[in-house]
């Protein structure tokens, strides 16, 4: 059986009040449409077609890498018209599955049985029972419970408006039959649109069985029309991701205050405190502890790493048993070997730090190669930028750098060197010696403080 998926995404989304096309608004850091395309691909279809209209160029550009076919619907004349735009590209012996670019949480598990039904020559419609069915098309069943029609809210009578079973919009049909039905659609209805839903009545007339399917969870069928609904679905989505993590052996202080915007892999017995944001691709080892209010982006953290509150780690590799933060910033292209300590108000950029080195307080380390067992005193700064170019600071093993030292790059510090506090290092520092640049301390005997003059 061949499968073609059609994703409708031509609507304008006026209620978002946004210049951005609706399907490009983000859920879990990715466009709504990207989620739907992913779900479509899970079903291993022969083709995926996206019907676009409003903001089309922007949508195509944002998802240029997606393996989909783009079909333009210049005027939005209705859902039936939208699907019909794709039919010339679909083989008659396929099954067609219709998805929506603004209904991002639908799962492959819900859709698979519908595809099976359509594969057996039936029309399959995904329905749901809602406490508040307002706005949706209503499912009309015959006395013996058969699905016989769908009536849009705006075309429904008072009795029909009381029906709580609604049309989610998702359907699957044999392509040959669907093509014939779409050709017969008209727009004589309250909205003057070509309704996809009218094919149900046609299937009944043609004695084609109409089956209904249901989603395990009603959140799956919810669409995004405004930012309130988007925020609701974001929480539902985050809750799903949080549950996957927790079931994999990771503890979350509060799954309601967890945000994953990308891929996150985590070893067992790790702990994530509240309000941590993960972005891009993040991998955590085992027994990692992340404190509250951290942002971790495109990073790999080894086993037993501890990240304390309010730390930002961006595009970095952190070795086993490192301790970072609170209030530390690890910037791109940083590699910390095992057991490195980076403390409060320390910024590390594009630097490699070998095992067991400590940069515990108020320092800037940039463009630096640092050996093992180094101790960097509070307030140390690598002066890596001369106003035009960046230069490297090279620090050997077992170096001790006194507090408030400036290392004016390019500069090299030999193994085992000690640098006195307050030193401005402008030339290479020899191994194993004490180096300092400091005026001799003096005291002035008999000196007295100035006294405030009387007015």
Could you tell me the smallest distance in angstroms from the CB atom of residue 280 to ligand UD1?
28
> Are the C-beta atoms of residues 376 and 357 closer than 8 Å to each other?
yes
Question: Rounded to 5 degrees, what are φ and ψ at 111?
Answer: -80, -30
**Residue 102, by phi and psi: left (phi above 0), alpha (psi -120 to 50) or beta?**
alpha
CA-wise closest residue to 213 among 116, 92, 317? 116
Q: Which are the catalytic amino acids?
A: 361
Q: Specify the residue, 11 or 291, whose C-beta has the smaller distance to ligand UD1.
A: 11
Quick check: helix, strand or coil at residue 401? Answer: strand
Q: Which is nearer to ligand UD1, 55 or 377 (CB)?
A: 55
Residues 273, 291: Cα–Cα separation, whole Å:
5
Site residues, ligand UD1 (CB under 6 A): 8-11, 51, 73, 76-79, 81-82, 100-102, 136-137, 150, 152, 166-169, 195-197, 223
Q: Which is nearer to ligand UD1, 114 or 340 (CB)?
A: 114
Query: Which residues make Cβ contacts (< 8 Å) with residue 81, sequence separation at least 6?
Result: 73, 185, 193, 194
Task: For residue 3, give every residue at least 6 positions away whose Cβ sits within 8 Å of its Cβ, in sequence order, or none.
Answer: 43, 44, 45, 46, 94, 95, 97, 115
Extract the runs of DSSP E, i.e. beta strands, from 337-405. 341-344, 347-349, 352-353, 358-361, 364-366, 368-370, 375-376, 381-383, 393-395, 400-401
User: What minimum distance in Å lies between the beta carbon of 141 and ligand UD1?
Assistant: 15
Contact 58, 126 (CB under 8 A): no
Q: Cβ closer to ligand UD1: 222 or 372?
A: 222
Q: How far is the CB of 343 from ligand UD1 (least distance, A)?
A: 51
21/28 with CB nearer ligand UD1: 21
| Least distance between ligand UD1 and beta carbon 170 (Å) | 9
């Amino acid at each position: 059986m061949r499968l073609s998926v059609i994703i409708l995404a031509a609507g304008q989304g006026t209620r978002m009040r946004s210049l951005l096309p609706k399907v490009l608004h983000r859920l879990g850091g990715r466009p709504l449409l990207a989620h739907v395309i992913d779900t479509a691909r899970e079903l291993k279809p022969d083709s995926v077609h996206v019907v676009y209209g409003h903001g089309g160029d922007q949508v195509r550009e944002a998802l240029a890498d997606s393996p989909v076919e783009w079909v333009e619907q210049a005027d939005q004349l209705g859902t039936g018209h939208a699907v019909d735009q794709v039919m010339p590209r679909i083989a008659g012996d396929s099954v067609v599955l219709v998805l929506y670019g603004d209904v991002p949480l639908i799962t492959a598990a819900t859709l698979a049985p519908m595809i099976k039904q359509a594969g057996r020559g039936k029309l399959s419609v995904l329905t749901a029972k809602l406490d508040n069915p307002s706005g949706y098309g209503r499912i009309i069943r015959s006395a013996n419970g058969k699905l016989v029609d769908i009536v849009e809210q705006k075309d429904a009578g008072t009795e029909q408006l009381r029906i709580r079973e609604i049309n989610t919009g998702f359907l699957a049909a044999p392509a040959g039959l669907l093509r014939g039905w779409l050709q017969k659609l008209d727009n004589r209805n309250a909205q003057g649109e070509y309704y996809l839903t009218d094919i149900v009545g046609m299937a009944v007339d043609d004695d084609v069985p109409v089956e209904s399917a249901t989603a395990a969870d009603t959140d799956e069928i919810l669409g995004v029309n405004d930012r309130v609904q988007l925020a609701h679905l974001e929480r539902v989505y985050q809750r799903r991701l949080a549950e996957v993590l927790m079931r994999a052996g990771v503890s979350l202080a509060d799954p309601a205050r967890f945000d994953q915007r990308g891929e996150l892999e985590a070893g067992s017995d790790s702990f994530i405190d509240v309000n941590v944001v993960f972005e891009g691709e993040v991998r955590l080892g085992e027994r990692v502890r992340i404190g509250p209010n951290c942002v971790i982006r495109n990073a790999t953290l080894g086993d037993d790493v501890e990240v304390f509150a309010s730390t930002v780690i961006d595009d970095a590799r952190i070795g086993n048993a490192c301790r970072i933060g609170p209030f530390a910033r690890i910037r791109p292209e940083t590699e910390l070997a095992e057991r490195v300590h980076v403390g409060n108000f320390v910024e590390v950029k594009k630097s490699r730090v070998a095992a067991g080195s400590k940069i515990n307080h108020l320092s800037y380390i940039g463009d630096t190669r640092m050996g093992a067992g180094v101790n960097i005193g509070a307030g140390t700064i690598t002066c890596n930028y001369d106003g035009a170019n960046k230069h490297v600071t090279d620090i050997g093993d077992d170096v001790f750098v006194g507090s408030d030292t400036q290392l004016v790059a390019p500069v090299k510090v030999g193994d085992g060197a000690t640098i006195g506090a307050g030193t401005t290092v402008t030339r290479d520092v020899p191994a194993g010696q004490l180096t300092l640049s400091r005026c001799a301390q003096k005291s002035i005997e008999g000196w007295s403080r100035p006294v405030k003059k009387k007015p």
